[in-house]
Amino acid sequence: MISSEPRGPSTYLTEDGKLCAVVRNAFDAGEIRRTAVGGTAVSASGSEYDAGMMLRMLVSAVRCGPETDISYLEGRMIAEILRESGALSPESAVPAEDTGFRRIPLSILRGSGERAVFTEDGRIYLKITGNVPERKRRSPDLNRCGRRS
């Protein structure tokens, strides 16, 4: 049997009327605004976003654009969080819930030179599996979307 469900909203980031990034199955502007003033929103994967998580997602969207899906961005964000936490080996692995994400989309990191790996006791770390292409190691660049002049 094949079934389906409605797609989530797409989040568009534009600059002077030009589209610079779109995130599929993400959040509508009302949800983003709600988190910015203290509320939360739940992504398609079931992860709860507060303002910090939402801002991180939007920055990732600009960096990874022009068109991504929320699942891909969540994989990238988890990798960033693990890297920032220093969770780069089984010994330094952190509890999965510390990433803030309810579901860890392991396959999303395929091709990035990185892989999220679970330890036997359920913790998680980032394993560097190969060379990361230069274009994927750039720091966030918001020049295309909203750099304050």
Partner 1 sequence: MTGFPDDSRRAGDALVLYAENGVFLEDIDGELHLMDGRTD
Give the shortest CB-140-to-partner 1 separation in angstroms: 8
Contact 85, 94 (CB under 8 A): yes
- Kindly state whether residue 59 participates in binding partner 1, applying the rule CB under 8 A: yes
Contact 136, 113 (CB under 8 A): yes
Angle at the Cα of 48 (from 47 to 49), degrees rounded to 5?
Answer: 115
- Kindly state whether residue 70 participates in binding partner 1, applying the rule CB under 8 A: no
Give the shortest CB-27-to-partner 1 separation in angstroms: 11
Q: Give the HSE-up count for residue 108: Cα atoms under 13 Å, Cβ half-sphere.
A: 19
Token readout for 89 is: 């080996």
Q: Which of 41, 44, 58, 117 binds partner 1 (CB under 8 A)?
A: 58
Q: Taking the alpha carbons of 18, 8, 66, 63 in that order, is the dihedral positive or negative?
A: positive
Residue type, 140: P
Cβ distance to partner 1 smaller for residue 38 or 46? 38
Q: How many residues bind partner 1 (CB under 8 A)?
A: 21
- Kindly state whether residue 26 participates in binding partner 1, applying the rule CB under 8 A: no
Q: Which of 52, 111, 122, 130 binds partner 1 (CB under 8 A)?
A: 52
**Binding region for partner 1 (CB under 8 A):** 13, 29, 32-33, 35-38, 51-52, 54-55, 58-59, 62, 140, 142, 145-148
